[in-house]
């Protein structure tokens, strides 16, 4: 991949756990059937590390077990025990000095469970820490409350990464809570579904009101899509099921997310992040 920028790879654990019904979890690892050809595959901590070392990403993630947001305590406790066990094995198997292996904290929205997972992992001294198991079915309020407290369990001098989150307002909540890194499918998934993020809130390009709108998706946005095409053209592409529509809107949504993060960084440097966040939330909610 000719991408001369930092690359992060996940262990594949989360993807396997989303295959409910066709997987079996033991302390050894996860056995699952390929959804493509039905082949029986084994993902162990050691294999997850080896694959990511071969890929050569800058940041690799340990194999962890991510229980659903509504899982009962014994299930979460078991996932935490296994997540710690697997992190230890991943660290032992990891050999590439030019790649940072991050640990993942589970425990849902329960701070006590988060602490039970974080303490032993922090003691293992990983170069960075991720919070997994957020945005897995719990309410946004529950997540926004638990986030800062969970982030506080992690070392201040190492990157804190919130996995799989989220909407623009969730990112700002994460930043306020001390999170440094995010990843999410939302900009591209929403882009594929004709939903655009803008400074004035979300708009749906399929709506008839955009049929004759010659303006860009977001005025002032310097991205390729906004520079070259109108809302009316994108509306037409989505109405006609042309694959260019999802591509163009994904480009804009990724540009929007990158701009939001750059603006947040600048606001932090200029010590006005709280006002920046409040301004964003007020503007987005006005549109909704």
Which residues in this chain contact Zn ion in the complex, by CB under 5 A? Answer: 221, 223, 226, 252, 255
| Dmax (CA) of the chain | 60
CA 147 to chain centre: 14
Judged by CB, which is closer to Zn ion: 165, or 221? 221
- Smallest distance from the beta carbon of 38 to Zn ion, in angstroms? 41
The residues annotated with a catalytic role in the active site are: 10, 183
- Smallest distance from the beta carbon of 263 to Zn ion, in angstroms? 14
Could you list the beta-strand ranges (E) of the chain: 8-9, 23-26, 29-33, 40-43, 59-61, 100-105, 129-131, 160-162, 181-182, 195-198, 201-204
Which among 107, 102, 104, 103 has a CA at the least distance from the CA of 78? 107
Characterise 137 by phi-psi region: left (phi > 0), alpha (psi -120 to 50), beta (else). left
- Smallest distance from the beta carbon of 101 to Zn ion, in angstroms? 35
- Pair 71, 106: CB distance under 8 Å: no
Judged by CB, which is closer to Zn ion: 144, or 252? 252
Q: Is the dihedral of CA 14, 130, 266, 201 positive or negative?
A: positive
- Smallest distance from the beta carbon of 223 to Zn ion, in angstroms? 3
Judged by CB, which is closer to Zn ion: 44, or 253? 253
Judged by CB, which is closer to Zn ion: 76, or 251? 251
């Amino acid at each position: 991949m000719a991408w001369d920028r930092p690359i992060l790879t996940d262990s594949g654990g989360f993807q396997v756990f989303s295959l409910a019904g066709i997987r079996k979890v033991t302390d050894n690892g996860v056995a699952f059937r390929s959804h493509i050809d039905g082949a029986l595959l084994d993902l162990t901590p050691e294999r997850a590390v080896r694959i990511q070392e071969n890929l050569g990403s800058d940041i690799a993630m340990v194999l962890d077990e991510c229980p659903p947001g509504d899982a009962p305590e014994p299930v979460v406790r078991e996932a935490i025990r296994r997540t710690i066990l697997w992190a230890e094995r991943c660290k032992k198997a990891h050999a590439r000095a030019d790649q940072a292996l991050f640990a993942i904290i589970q425990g849902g929205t329960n701070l006590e469970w988060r602490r039970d997972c974080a303490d032993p992992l922090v003691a293992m001294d990983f170069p960075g820490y991720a919070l997994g198991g957020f945005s897995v079915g719990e309410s946004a309020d529950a997540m926004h409350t638990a986030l800062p407290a969970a982030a506080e369990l992690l070392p201040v001098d190492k990157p804190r990464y919130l996995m799989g989150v989220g909407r623009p307002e969730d990112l700002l909540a994460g930043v306020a809570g001390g999170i440094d890194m995010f990843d999410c499918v939302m900009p591209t998934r929403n882009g594929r579904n004709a939903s655009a993020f803008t400074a004035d809130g979300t708009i749906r390009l399929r709506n008839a009101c955009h049929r004759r709108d010659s303006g860009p998706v977001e005025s002032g946005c310097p991205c390729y899509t906004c520079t070259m095409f109108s809302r009316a053209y994108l509306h037409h592409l989505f109405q006609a099921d042309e694959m260019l529509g999802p591509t163009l809107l994904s480009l804009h949504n990724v540009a929007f997310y990158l701009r939001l993060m750059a603006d947040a960084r600048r606001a932090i440097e200029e010590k006005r992040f709280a006002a920046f966040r409040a301004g964003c939330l007020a503007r987005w909610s006005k549109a909704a």
